[in-house]
Structure 1
Amino acid sequence: MNPLDLDIITASKQIDDRDLSPVDLVEACLDRVDRVKETNAFITVNADEARAVARACTDLIAAGYRIGPLHGIPIALKDNVGVAGQLTTAGSAVLADHRPTYDATVVRKLRAAGAIIIGKTNMHEFAWGGTSANPHYGSVKSPWDLSRMPGGSSGGSGVAVATGAGMAAVGTDTGGSVRLPSSLNGITGLRPTIGRVSNYGVIPLAWTMDTVGPMARSAQDCAILLDAFAGHDPNDPGSSTAPTEHYSAAVRHPSVAGLRIGLIDDYSLTHVQPSVGAAVEQALRTLLEQGAVQTAVQVPDIEGNISAQLTIEAAEPSTYHQRTLREQPQNYGDDVRLLLQTGELLPAVHYLQAQRYRAMLRTQMLAALERVDVIVCPTLPFTATPLGETTVEIDAGVPEDMLAAIMQFTGLPSLTGLPAMSVPCGFDDAGLPIGLQLIGRPFAEASLLRVAAAFQNATDFHRRQPPFPAV
């Protein structure tokens, strides 16, 4: 069996039993990285270092030392996550020569858990966009259809996992940048509660909504990554001291019996492409057949969430980039430069009103989550669009702005700081993946992972592989 077809749990056991060598696993990943070059999934590949670490991992096992389930597992990192001495561009020419002097906390924790960093993945420039169309390093392409976009901003991480170029990947999520490429690439991705995972050493987009998140083929694999890097970090002032859970244990015997699933009235299944609506409704039936209970909930002022999301996500990045934008505007791509310039024109009152609305919406979401255990909706209201498109048709014949449409569902937990994840739940008529979004209570990542794992035990959408590359 091709080792790249294994999940992390199985690969880890085979490494532990010495049926699989970390060296062979890394070589298989590097070969796959080379075979999927056409997708532009990677900016940097750390082949020599990955091979050296794989040999060290193998030597440790031979000496009787086993660090944990990530020992010898190749992981891809989004290129806004800092690695000491390694190129970290955030997908921009502005940072074309940037090499951090220290590891991001998430990198330090992954290395301590025995993971092998295979390379840095391509992304939407500075994470400010949802398509991963990158003018500096080439647009990332979907392995399900190379003429279509893979979502963003963590598009390269999504493609790396979908193609097997990494056993898992790290992404960052502000308005949906872990969940969007997870949905469009047919993989599983988790946005943790704000503060659950340290952002120290990660190049920011909008700091009040940014979070690092795991991306993998399954909920079980995401749980293993979250076990490795969740937790308080004194280096990050936004890091929470709320206790973590043993996430891998939560998904070992998952059940949704008695689970209360909430559908938000006039929202959860509204304004979606027919194939998306049908897939999500079928996913709901699957959960109900396993003993879950469906309940309608209300979030009275939900309609303003996209406007508030875009306001905050315009103002905060413009603050971070203000000086650089004046010193080297030519090094930004046209779309990101325009967004940053627009953010500087926003009146302070608009930003403050968006923050006031944000607090009110969080209160309403928490009230809804008192009545249910999880809220369900699509991750995206549409499937992957052709490369270069700036509009999308959700209702036939009615073009909409791509950025706003992308955030229709993912913006809700981003704005309210809640955990959410995308789980593969079907395909459209063109064979393009569809994602189911699960939204939970603060710091209820274990509950979301448990629901996702139960769904994946009953379905095989997360096991299906894209046609590119042919294997």
Structure 2
Amino acid sequence: MTDLTKLTLAEARDGLVAKKFSATELTQAFIKAIDAANPHLNAYVLMTPEHALAQAKTSDERLAKGEARPLEGLPIGNKDLFCTYGIRTTACSRILDDFKPRYEATVGQNLWDAGAVMLGKLNNDEFAMGSSNETSAFGPVVNPWRRTRGGKVDNTKLVPGGSSGGSSAAVSANLCLGATATDTGGSIRQPAALTGTVGIKPTYGRCSRWGIVAFASSLDQAGPIAKTVRDSAIMLRHMAGYDPKDSTCVDMPVPDYEAEVARGVKGLRVGVPKEYRVDGMSAEVDALWQKGIAWLKDAGATIHDISLPHTKYALPAYYIVAPAECSSNLARYDGVRYGLRVPGKDLIDTYEATREAGFGKEVKRRVLIGTYVLSAGYYDAYYLKAQKVRTLIKRDFDNAWSDVDVVLTPTTPSPAFGFGEKAGDPIAMYLEDIFTVTVNMAGLPGISVPAGLSGEGTPMGLQLIGKPFDEGTLFRAAQVIENAAGRFPVPSKWWA
């Protein structure tokens, strides 16, 4: 039998409906693959085989009756930031300990209602704070890709990007058909670029944030990481939707994104911002960008040079706004109501001991930065000014939309890097998000599509940025790039 784990989500969906295999057989194939790979990749922090097989059995019964739901029997991974009813959810932090929610995140519930099967909880940077998945309390995730140097495979362990590194690694290594993820400053698109997968961050408000462990509430947004543009379109269609439990979730219809994929880009106006040519961007990333421009032009799009003048302020402004919101959101972890509790001699001592033991170094750093910029003496100088910059960044895009329909940029300034290469330098790590944070600051949709390989044989991605709630146009343009560049499966299962 064909290796079922190599199927795309669309192929698996069609195979189940055609009764080429059962949902149980498909789920068992992924459970076996996870058992073999996870000790080496650490993509899953909790596997739920019994839960998955029970869901698959229900799917087989529905398929037999001809009552298949849109995602019937399709096994996916769920980022550990999404609350799951009765199943441990930790945000990959010690402070949540053995927390088992009594509710399900809306995005997850939407997927299960559509028939998807949950294989387990995926690793991520602690509270989604990181760009390499090295800050998780469960240890780092290993990128399934390896560099090639001098014609030989270099066995240095590479990062899969972050914070959704478990999601990107699991999809890339065929340990699920697709995965949920979240994006606060690039945490879907950056890991997708470093693992040869497709990741879309939808417009802020397109997906409910209810039941997602909060990092920065005005920036966080859920989205999928998948093997192909079509797969990501299918997943987003069933993740999105209005939710009265989330006041920031927009009440508007969710289009059939899969139908958009094949529409092409004839007449589409593509903007190329000059401000994205930054110091430190490698020559091969710039060359890939030029290829992307040529592919879209050949497909019938028109190319326009544009300016987004406040882009250079986006990263420093982001690293004021995001920590400020993080310090506020994480104040709830006090060792009293749930999660870890380290007893102290009095209440204040208990708070301090619990947070000292429960939070990792990067989380503490951001809480301290956030508390500082929100303090009475510095609020106006830092936080208020950063919010004004945020408005200017959004205005840049608003002005651009009169001339273009989408914007094309690189996703990351460089390919995947090795463990520890940037972990000791927070600024170098933060610069990984230099091309992605503007999208979150402006609340726009953005997608990363694998577009080529570096000189060392590792994936690189291109990013498309769209108008608010115009994800369909992003899928159209992304499909053109995927058609031109091809797909990028991992060359070998070295972990086997």
Q: What are the superposed Cα offsets for residues 242-279 of structure 1, whole Å, 9 maximum, x if unpaired?
A: 3321111111x231112211111232576411221112
CA distance in 1, matches of 2:241, 2:277: 31
In the alignment, which of 262, 285, 291 is matched to residue 294 of structure 2? 285
Match of 2:149 in 1: none
Aligned ranges 1:330-345 → 2 under 5 Å: 330-345=357-372
Match of 2:103 in 1: 102
CA root-mean-square deviation: 1.7
Match of 2:341 in 1: none
* Matched residue SS, 1:200: coil
Would you say the 8 A contact 1:143–1:466 is kept in 2?
Answer: no
* Matched residue SS, 1:371: coil
Where do 5+ consecutive residues of structure 2 fail to align? 147-155, 335-350
Aligned ranges 1:36-435 → 2 under 5 Å: 36-37=37-38, 38-68=40-70, 70-134=71-135, 136-145=137-146, 147-251=157-261, 253-268=262-277, 271-324=280-333, 326-327=351-352, 328=354, 329-346=356-373, 347-349=378-380, 350-390=382-422, 401-435=427-461
CA distance in 2, matches of 1:463, 1:428: 12
Would you say the 8 A contact 2:275–2:312 is kept in 1?
Answer: no
Q: CA deviation at 1:386?
A: 1.0
CA distance in 1, matches of 2:407, 2:457: 26
* Matched residue SS, 1:285: helix
Q: CA deviation at 1:31?
A: 1.3
Match of 1:396 in 2: none
Would you say the 8 A contact 1:175–1:414 is kept in 2?
Answer: yes
CA distance in 1, matches of 2:110, 2:60: 20
Match of 1:465 in 2: 490
CA distance in 1, matches of 2:278, 2:368: 35
* Matched residue SS, 1:36: helix
Q: Cα distance 1:92–1:470, how it changes in 2: closer, same or farther (>3 A)?
A: closer
Higher mean alpha-carbon deviation, 262-271 vs 230-239, is at: 262-271
CA distance in 2, matches of 1:246, 1:218: 16
Higher mean alpha-carbon deviation, 76-85 vs 290-299, is at: 290-299
Q: What are the superposed Cα offsets for residues 174-222 of structure 1, whole Å, 9 maximum, x if unpaired?
A: 0011111101011000000000000100001000000001110111001
Q: Cα distance 1:400–1:157, how it changes in 2: closer, same or farther (>3 A)?
A: closer
Q: CA deviation at 1:409?
A: 0.3
Q: CA deviation at 1:322?
A: 2.6
Give the greater-gyration-radius structure (CA). Answer: 2
Would you say the 8 A contact 2:24–2:53 is kept in 1?
Answer: yes
Aligned ranges 1:2-41 → 2 under 5 Å: 2-37=3-38, 38-41=40-43
Where do 5+ consecutive residues of structure 1 fail to align? 393-398
Would you say the 8 A contact 1:35–1:469 is kept in 2?
Answer: no
Would you say the 8 A contact 2:125–2:136 is kept in 1?
Answer: no
* Matched residue SS, 2:479: helix
CA distance in 2, matches of 1:147, 1:371: 43
Q: What are the superposed Cα offsets for residues 299-355 of structure 1, whole Å, 9 maximum, x if unpaired?
A: 222211111111001110011113536441211112221221222111211111111
Would you say the 8 A contact 1:75–1:116 is kept in 2?
Answer: yes
User: Matched residues, percent identical?
Assistant: 33
CA distance in 2, matches of 1:470, 1:206: 35
Higher mean alpha-carbon deviation, 264-273 vs 408-417, is at: 264-273
CA distance in 2, matches of 1:61, 1:469: 36
Would you say the 8 A contact 2:275–2:309 is kept in 1?
Answer: no
CA distance in 2, matches of 1:380, 1:178: 12
Would you say the 8 A contact 1:197–1:232 is kept in 2?
Answer: yes
Q: CA deviation at 1:402?
A: 2.4
CA distance in 2, matches of 1:114, 1:387: 37
CA distance in 2, matches of 1:139, 1:89: 15
Would you say the 8 A contact 1:261–1:372 is kept in 2?
Answer: yes
CA distance in 1, matches of 2:57, 2:275: 55
Q: Cα distance 1:297–1:119, how it changes in 2: closer, same or farther (>3 A)?
A: same
* Matched residue SS, 1:307: helix
Match of 1:451 in 2: 477
Q: CA deviation at 1:135?
A: 5.1
Would you say the 8 A contact 2:320–2:369 is kept in 1?
Answer: no
Match of 2:347 in 1: none
- TM-score, normalised with respect to structure 2: 0.90
* Matched residue SS, 1:321: helix
Q: CA deviation at 1:458?
A: 2.7
CA distance in 2, matches of 1:6, 1:469: 20
Higher mean alpha-carbon deviation, 175-184 vs 348-357, is at: 348-357
